[in-house]
Structure formats: structure tokens, C-alpha cells
């Protein structure tokens, strides 16, 4: 019994001493006075207690007619830091440097805010990084690095818009997504409109076949199209689809909302109806119709973007949890049961009124099951709206494309002269 008492007393003494030493170390720790290399293996203990400052990166752009290439750039930029701040260039700056934008600032802001990798958005950003704006980014927004793609961003005078950021050593570069650009998409629309107008007496399916198989239109391949467009030959990889996906399925008791459509030329109207749909449940499943279905319902000149391009644009939206690539036109009972869909929705603003028909209504099954709801669309914008904007100002957009090509040519000429090539 004696040795047990001695053992208890000894343990208390040792424990008390250890506590006292620990408290002393903690006191020094908090005051920042603990000597370095004191056998604790800590080079700077005080910093360990502090929360690491998040790395904030900045990327700007016009984001006109936002597409999956823009989204992939934002995804890459976000991977270089912890928080992504995005500057959206004003309409006035775009007009001065490139020509008129297709989508106004408020629509472009809606699009950028909806991208899942974006944490913060700055409106009316300048087209070029000036010294004053760069100081504002570093001081006010606590930006660590300015990001841009490896494609040139050239001012009208042929100089680099990011020269100051590079000189400051606060510039990082990402890889451009090949095969798509806003200029290219504008060209595709002009091509489709011109092709449709001159081929009404020919096969209406020829252009769609060219889009689906990635061939250029022979009528404009030799330069007849001043827009210099090419038809999309984008081919997705499983890795890219995974990069854009959330990677999470619905929970066991999740209320799953389903909405379908073409989602061609993904725009602010799409974003807003998806946001409203997502608010109705826990998981938003989006069905995207294939090229053949869209062509059959909208005409041989549609879609402008192919199935996989449209799928990536929708997947990048923060309100979307999952997509069905190549969803059927009619929402069947099998589809509803397979995906455990709780509610099927449709917006009031659409390319057609099929959802209001009594016969051949693609939503007849969910209607009969009492799980169909029509949502008021927040914005009166459709894919046709975007196309009409292009057609109404096609000369200005063709000049814009030519202006961009001239600026890039001047940039490369100067670069070649400096390097001595």
C-alpha cells in the first residue's frame, strides 16, 4: 500500500511540474518569445498558431457569350489559389478595345457569378491592368497573383495588357482551352444564318452533319466568310468531364428536381431558370438533348454548340448537381423512376410551347403523375435572342473579329522583332 501511495504522490508531482512547464511554454508561445530550435522541431511556433492566409488570385475578362472555354480558364485559375476574384470588363471598355459586346454587363455578371469556381466578382474592371488598378487589387482586394491564359491579350496599340503585372512578378499563366472562343461562336452563328438563307432549297440537314462531325463548311472555307469561322470539332475527354463534375450524388432522402432542354449558347436566361429550379429541392438534375433532337425540333441550323460543349457549360454552373448527356425528348416514367425524380420543371420563356400542348407533350407523364411545375422565367432571353443580336449587328461583329486578328498580328510582329527571330 505504501508504494502505491508513493507512486500516486510522485505522479501528481511530475504531472504538476509538467503542467507548470507547459503553461510557461504556452505563455511564451502566445507572446511570441519562445526561442527558436528549443527541441520542439518548430521553426516558428507562433506562426503555426495563426491561420494560414488564403492565396487570392485574380482573373479578368470580357466573358462575352460565356462558354466552356471561359469556365475552364476560371477552373484552372482557381486551382492556383484558395479564392478566385474575377473582374468583368465594362461595356465601354470592350467597345473601345474590341467592338460591341453581344451580351451587356449585367448578363455577363450573372454568368460569371454562376460559375462554381468563382468566389468574388468585380464589376466594371478595366480592359488593361493599369498601375492604379493593380495597386487596388493588391491593397484593397488582397490579391496575390494575376492570372491569364497563354493566348495574347493585346491592346489596340499592340502592347500586352498584362505587362505591368508581369513586371511586378505577380503574374501567373494558364493554358488556353483550344477549339472555342467568343469570336469563333459569333462566326458560327453568322455562318449558320448565311447558310440557312442560301440553302433553303437544298438539304436542310447538311449543316447539322457538318457540326456533328466537325467539318468546315465548303462554302466559306476558302475565305468567303469574313468572320473566318470554323465549325466546332471539340471532342471531350473523360478527364475534362470529371474536372467539371461535382462528383457527388444525391443524399438518400434528397428532393431531386429535373429540368431539360438544349441549353444552346448557354446564357443568363438559362442560369436564372436553373437557379430557380435548384431552390425547389436538394439536388438539380439537368437533361441535355442531343444534337439530332435539337436539330429536329429547332431546325437544321441548330444547335450552334454541340452536345458536349453544351454539357460542359451546364456542368460549370454552381446551381447544377448533375447532367444527363443526351437526355430523351420525352420525360418517361422510366427516367423518373431511374433517377428518383421528385419534380419536373420548365420555364415560361422557351424556344417552343411544347410543354403547353395537349397532344405530343413531352411532359405528359410527369403531368399525369402530378409532379410537373411551370416556373416563371426571371429573364426573357432565349438562344434565338442571342442569335438575333448577332444578326442585327453582324457587320460590327465582323469588324470586331477583324480588329482582334489585326491586334494579335501586330503583337506577334513586335514580339518577333524584340526576340530577333
**Range 385-403 average pLDDT:** 74
Q: How far apart are CA 243 and CA 240, in angstroms?
A: 5
Per-residue pLDDT at 97: 84
Per-residue pLDDT at 266: 96
Question: Could you tell me which residue, 225 or 246, shows the higher pLDDT?
Answer: 246
In three-state form (DSSP H/G/I as H, E/B as E, the rest C), the secondary structure along 143-180 is CCEEEEECCCCECCCCCECCHHHHHCCCEEEECCCCCC
Query: pLDDT for 299-325, tens place per residue?
Result: 888 899 999 999 999 999 999 999 999
| Cα dist from 205 to 190, 292, 296, 299, 333, whole Å | 17, 10, 9, 8, 31
Instruction: Of 177-186, 201-210, 404-413, give the lowest mean pLDDT range.
Output: 201-210
Per-residue pLDDT at 265: 94
What confidence tier does 233 reach under pLDDT thresholds 50, 70, 90? low
pLDDT exceeds 70 at position 23: no
Per-residue pLDDT at 400: 60
How many CB atoms neighbour CB 397 within 10 A?
A: 24
133 grid coordinates: 488598378
What confidence tier does 338 reach under pLDDT thresholds 50, 70, 90? very high
Per-residue pLDDT at 280: 98
Per-residue pLDDT at 50: 59
pLDDT exceeds 70 at position 204: no
Question: Could you tell me which residue, 234 or 328, shows the higher pLDDT?
Answer: 328
Query: pLDDT for 47-94, tens place per residue?
Result: 444 578 999 999 999 999 899 999 999 999 999 999 999 999 999 999
Rounded percentage of the chain residues whose pLDDT exceeds 70? 71
Q: How far apart are CA 402 and CA 321, in angstroms?
A: 39
What's the sign of the alpha-carbon dihedral 60, 61, 62, 63?
Answer: negative
pLDDT exceeds 70 at position 340: yes
Per-residue pLDDT at 223: 33
pLDDT exceeds 80 at position 14: no
Per-residue pLDDT at 355: 76
What is the overall mean pLDDT for the chain? 79
Per the CB < 8 A criterion, the answer to whether 117 and 84 are in contact is: yes
Burial (Cβ within 10 Å: 0-12, 13-18, ≥19) of residue 418? exposed
257 grid coordinates: 428536381
pLDDT exceeds 70 at position 22: no
- Least Cα distance to 182 among 408, 404, 395 occurs for 404
Q: How far apart are CA 1 and CA 4, in angstroms?
A: 5
Instruction: Of 289-293, 343-347, 390-394, 397-401, give the lowest mean pLDDT range.
Output: 397-401
Strands 145-149, 56-61: pairing kind? parallel
Q: How far apart are CA 86 and CA 310, in angstroms?
A: 23
Question: Could you tell me which residue, 196 or 265, shows the higher pLDDT?
Answer: 265
- Least Cα distance to 294 among 330, 328, 262, 332 occurs for 262
Q: Which domains does the chain have, with CATH numbers?
A: 56-174 (3.40.50.620), 238-375 (3.40.50.620)
Most confident stretch, 16-25, 45-54, 383-392: 383-392
Per-residue pLDDT at 391: 81
Instruction: Of 80-94, 164-178, 338-352, give the lowest mean pLDDT range.
Output: 164-178
Rounded percentage of the chain residues whose pLDDT exceeds 90? 53
Per-residue pLDDT at 192: 67
99 grid coordinates: 467592338
**Range 8-16 average pLDDT:** 47
Place of cell 463534375: 245
Per the CB < 8 A criterion, the answer to whether 310 and 263 are in contact is: yes
- Least Cα distance to 164 among 137, 142, 125, 139 occurs for 137
Question: Could you tell me which residue, 11 or 116, shows the higher pLDDT?
Answer: 116
Express the helix, strand and coil content of the chain in percent, nearest 5 each: 45, 15, 40
What confidence tier does 180 reach under pLDDT thresholds 50, 70, 90? confident
b/e code 177-202 from CB counts within 10 Å (16+ = b)? beebbbbbbbbbbbbbbbbeeeeeee
Amino acid at each position: 500500500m505504501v508504494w502505491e501511495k508513493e507512486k500516486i504522490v510522485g505522479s501528481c508531482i511530475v504531472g504538476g511540474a509538467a503542467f507548470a512547464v507547459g503553461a510557461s511554454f504556452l505563455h511564451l508561445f502566445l507572446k511570441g518569445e519562445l526561442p527558436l530550435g528549443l527541441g520542439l522541431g518548430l521553426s516558428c511556433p507562433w506562426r503555426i498558431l495563426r491561420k494560414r492566409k488564403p492565396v487570392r488570385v485574380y482573373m479578368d475578362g470580357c466573358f462575352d457569350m460565356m462558354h466552356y472555354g471561359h469556365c475552364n480558364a476560371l477552373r484552372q485559375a482557381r486551382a492556383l489559389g484558395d479564392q478566385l476574384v474575377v473582374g468583368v470588363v465594362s461595356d465601354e471598355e470592350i467597345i473601345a478595345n474590341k467592338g460591341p459586346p453581344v451580351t451587356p454587363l449585367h448578363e455577363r455578371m450573372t454568368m460569371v457569378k454562376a460559375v462554381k469556381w468563382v468566389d468574388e466578382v468585380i464589376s466594371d474592371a478595366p480592359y488593361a491592368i493599369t498601375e492604379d488598378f493593380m495597386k487596388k487589387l493588391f491593397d484593397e482586394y488582397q490579391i496575390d497573383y494575376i492570372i491569364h491564359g497563354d493566348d495574347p491579350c493585346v491592346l489596340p496599340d499592340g502592347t500586352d495588357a498584362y505587362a505591368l503585372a508581369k513586371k511586378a512578378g505577380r503574374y501567373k499563366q494558364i493554358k488556353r482551352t483550344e477549339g472555342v472562343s467568343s469570336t469563333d461562336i459569333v462566326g458560327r452563328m453568322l455562318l449558320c444564318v448565311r447558310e440557312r438563307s442560301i440553302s433553303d432549297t437544298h438539304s436542310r440537314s447538311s449543316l447539322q452533319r457538318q457540326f456533328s462531325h466537325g467539318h468546315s463548311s465548303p462554302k466559306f472555307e476558302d475565305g468567303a466568310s469574313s468572320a473566318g469561322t470554323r465549325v466546332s470539332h471539340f471532342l471531350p475527354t473523360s478527364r475534362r468531364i470529371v474536372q467539371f463534375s461535382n462528383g457527388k450524388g444525391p443524399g438518400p432522402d434528397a428532393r431531386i428536381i429535373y429540368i431539360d432542354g438544349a441549353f444552346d449558347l448557354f446564357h443568363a436566361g438559362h442560369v436564372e431558370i436553373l437557379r430557380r429550379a435548384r431552390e425547389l429541392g436538394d439536388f438539380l438534375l439537368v437533361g441535355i438533348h442531343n444534337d439530332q433532337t435539337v436539330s429536329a425540333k429547332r431546325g437544321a441550323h441548330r444547335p450552334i454548340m454541340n452536345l458536349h460543349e453544351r454539357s460542359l457549360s451546364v456542368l460549370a454552373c454552381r446551381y447544377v448537381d448533375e447532367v444527363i448527356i443526351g437526355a430523351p425528348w420525352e420525360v418517361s416514367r422510366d427516367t423518373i423512376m431511374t433517377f428518383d425524380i421528385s419534380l419536373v420543371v420548365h420555364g415560361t420563356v422557351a424556344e417552343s410551347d411544347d410543354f403547353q400542348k395537349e397532344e405530343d407533350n413531352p411532359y405528359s407523364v410527369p403531368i399525369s403523375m402530378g409532379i410537373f411545375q411551370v416556373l416563371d422565367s426571371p429573364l426573357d432571353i432565349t438562344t434565338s435572342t442571342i442569335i438575333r443580336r448577332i444578326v442585327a449587328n453582324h457587320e460590327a461583329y465582323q469588324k470586331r473579329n477583324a480588329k482582334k486578328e489585326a491586334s494579335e498580328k501586330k503583337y506577334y510582329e513586335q514580339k518577333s522583332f524584340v526576340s530577333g527571330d
